[in-house]
Amino acid sequence: MKKLLILLLTLVHIALFSGCTPLYEIRGDSPLLDANLTTFLHKWRTDTITPVRNGTYSNVLVNGNPKNKTVALTFDDSPDENNTYKLLDILNTHNVKAAFFMIGGTMRDGNISVVQRTDREGHLVLNHSFSHPRLSDLNESAIISQLDRAAARIETVTGRYPLLCRPPYGSINPLVIDCVNQQGMTTLLWSLDSLDWTLKDPDAVVHNVLSNVRNGDIILMHRNRTSVASLSNIIEQLKKQGFTFQRLDEMLGIKAYR
C-alpha cells in the first residue's frame, strides 16, 4: 500500500510539473571580477532566484525552454543617441531581433527617433521604469508611477503599450512583484549576465557568454560601448554552435504588448 501511494504521488508530481519550464540559476562569471563583486553577485542571484523557485514570486520569468537550442538577446538602459543606433545596425546586419528595455524619461529630443527605429525594425520596446530607480526602495504608489509613466511614454512614441518589464538592476521584492502584477505586466529577468556593465574588455564578455550559455537563455546586455564591441562576435559564435536567436516574446510564447 505504501509503495502504491508513493507511485501515485510521483505520477501526480510528473503530471503537474512535466510541462513546466525548469528554472535556471543566473550565470555569468569572469576571473577579471574582484572577489567582493563576485561574492555580491552570487548572493544577489541566489536571493533573487530562490523566491521565484519557491513560488514566493509569481509571474516572474528567467529563461525559456531548455529543450530548445534558442536564446534571446535583451538590452537594458536605452535609448541613447549613439550606442543604441550601433546595436541596431549590428542586429540588422545579422538579421537578429532583440528586446530593448527602455527608460521612459530618456525618450525625448533626439532619442525619440531611435525608439521609433527600434520598434519599426521589429525589436521589442519594453518597460525599464521611468527614471531607473531601485524599485525595491520605493513604496507602492511610487513603484506604480514608475511603471505607468514609462509604459505611457512608450505607447506615445511607438503606439504600443508594453506588458513586459524589467526592474532596474533586477531589484525586486514582494511589493515590486505585486505592483507589476497589479498593472497586468510580467517581470522579465535573465539567466545569463554578459557582464558588459562591469567588464570593459569585449573579449572577456564574449568568453563569458560562450562559456556559460545554455538552451533557452535570456541574455542580459546593455547599451554601452562594450556591448557594441562584443555583440557581433557573440552572435556569430552562438550561431556556429547551433543556437537560434528568437525575440523574447516569441521564445517565451507571451504577449509583449496590450
- Phi and psi torsions of 80, nearest 5°: -145, 175
Q: Is 25 exposed, middle or buried (0-12, 13-18, 19+ CB in 10 A)?
A: middle
Pairwise CA distance, residues 31 & 38, whole Å:
9
Distance CA 73, CA 235 (A): 9
The CA distances from residue 106 to 86, 109, 111, 180, 215, in Å, are 18, 9, 7, 21, 33
For residue 164, give the nearest of 190, 191, 140 by alpha carbon: 190
How many Å separate Cα 95 from the centre of its chain? 20
Q: Which three cell numbers stand for residue 133?
A: 530607480
Q: Which residues are catalytic?
A: 76, 222
- b/e map 54-74, b = 16+ CB within 10 Å: eeebeebbbbbebeeebbbbb
Q: Is 238 helix (H, G, I), strand (E, B) or coil?
A: helix
User: Which phi and psi angles does 128 have, rounded to 5°?
Assistant: -125, 30
CA 73 – CA 245 distance, rounded (Å): 7
Find out whether 250 and 222 touch, Cβ atoms under 8 Å.
Answer: no
The Cα–Cα gap between 47 and 196 comes to 22
